[in-house]
Structure 1
């Protein structure tokens, strides 16, 4: 196992346990992240804040691996993020929605490029429509 795989595994563990200090420690100060719901984020503090909102919304999350890869300085995970929405859901305009109490099972892929023991670039891909539908936030039809 190389550095990228080891750092990514620790990052996934920190995310699923809501360990914001560990998440922060694994990110480079000038890290860049891209997610479907957060867009492009620059800087450790901004990325940690994104994960704060996710771990507040779904505090009991687990991640079940389907595939795990490491290619050079990049680790890639495919899996299912599962948890119950028991906390407020932040909206892009700064408002929040109350918890739905629903469980989500979201398929996704994330990639982390690692250098000197820190994540420099992080990308998360998941179907945002599927996520909102599982929360019951899309219109019926």
Structure 2
């Protein structure tokens, strides 16, 4: 699968800067402004690339291998997480508890690819493929459980994240819960 990156900004900024320089418009002031804009853009692109690399590590290593002690490398202590079922949490410890719960009944849950990755300033949007198999009892809030069906799932999911100081401060998770329940045999 091909990874998409926002190359349109680079060519636009470079064309603008080159045009100003080639035409000599505005003399040194225009040149300085174009150079400052190019430098600002390059810094933003470097930041976006760092965030996307951190996100790859988060999904491919930390999430997939349940290495929860490393979650603070990508998440703020007071991270706000919006889940596909509509609930929202605040704090890394609550987020870790929610993530751990996904592995109780599907211990082979994993994300190994990000076919689409986009960044813009302090925001990223990453599409991943989450897979696993319902092989263990699924605990319910009343203390009972649902017997495993042995069925596997493969979901397209999306995470939209806001970053500050190198970590996510807010995370929006999206996937089709109906499809998820159907795939693991809990919905028609």
The bucket for the TM-score relative to the shorter chain is 0.7 to 0.9
In structure 2, what is the equivalent of residue 10 of structure 1?
57
In structure 1, what is the equivalent of residue 158 of structure 2?
109
Query: Which portions of structure 1, spanning 4 or more consecutive aligned residues, are displaced by more than 6 angstroms?
Result: none
Q: Comparing 114-123 with 94-103, which one deviates more in the overlay?
A: 94-103
Gap change, CA 1:120 and 1:77, over 3 Å in 2: same
Counterpart mapping for 1:39-78 below 5 A: 39-63=87-111, 64-78=113-127
Q: Indicate the structure whose relative CO is greater, using CA pairs within 8 Å and at least 6 residues apart.
A: 1
The CA RMSD measured in Å over matched residues stands at 2.0
The structure number with the bigger radius of gyration is 2
Give how far 1:60 is off. Answer: 1.9
Hey, which of these two has a bigger chunk of helix by percent? 2
Q: TM-score, normalised by structure 1?
A: 0.85
Structure 1 residue runs of 5 or longer lacking an equivalent are none
CA contact (8 A) 2:133 2:184 kept: no
In structure 1, what is the equivalent of residue 146 of structure 2?
97
Give how far 1:118 is off. Answer: 1.7
Structure 2 residue runs of 5 or longer lacking an equivalent are 1-45
Aligned length: 139
